[in-house]
Amino acid sequence: MSDLLEVRVLGAPTVAAEAVVRLAEVLDLDRERGPYPSCKAPELVRYYLTGRLRPDRALLARRARGRRRGCCPAGRGAGPGPRARPLSQPQGP
């Protein structure tokens, strides 16, 4: 199985270009193609990206700390953090 990811970005030219820049921060890009005009909406452009997810160093560090402490990896049954509260509860002093 390949870890290769293919992404199509469709949007207004400036928004799509910014999305490509931001996606390049989380993807190790092998190929970037575009901008191409959209066939359905001429005011939009398309980009095609091919790459692999970059390792999330912060997530890897949290998982490593969790294994050393003998607790669950982040997001796996750990429950809400100490600051979590229901959205309907008003903030107070």
Structural domains in the chain (count): 1
Answer yes or no: is 66 within a domain: no
Answer yes or no: is 14 within a domain: yes
CA distance linking residue 4 with residue 50, whole number of Å: 7
pLDDT at 6 (0 to 100): 97
**pLDDT over threshold 90, residue 73:** no
- Domain with 16, as residue range(s), is 5-57
**pLDDT over threshold 90, residue 60:** no
**pLDDT over threshold 70, residue 93:** no
Q: What are the DSSP calls for 12-29, one per residue? A: -HHHHHHHHHHHHHHEEE
pTM exceeds 0.85, yes or no = no
**pLDDT over threshold 70, residue 46:** yes
Peptide linkage before 93 cis (omega within 30 of 0): no
Answer yes or no: is 12 within a domain: yes
Answer yes or no: is 91 within a domain: no
Answer yes or no: is 67 within a domain: no
Answer yes or no: is 63 within a domain: no
Answer yes or no: is 53 within a domain: yes
Average per-residue pLDDT in the chain? 80
Contact of 44 with 80, CB cutoff 8 Å: no
Contact of 23 with 30, CB cutoff 8 Å: no
pLDDT at 19 (0 to 100): 97
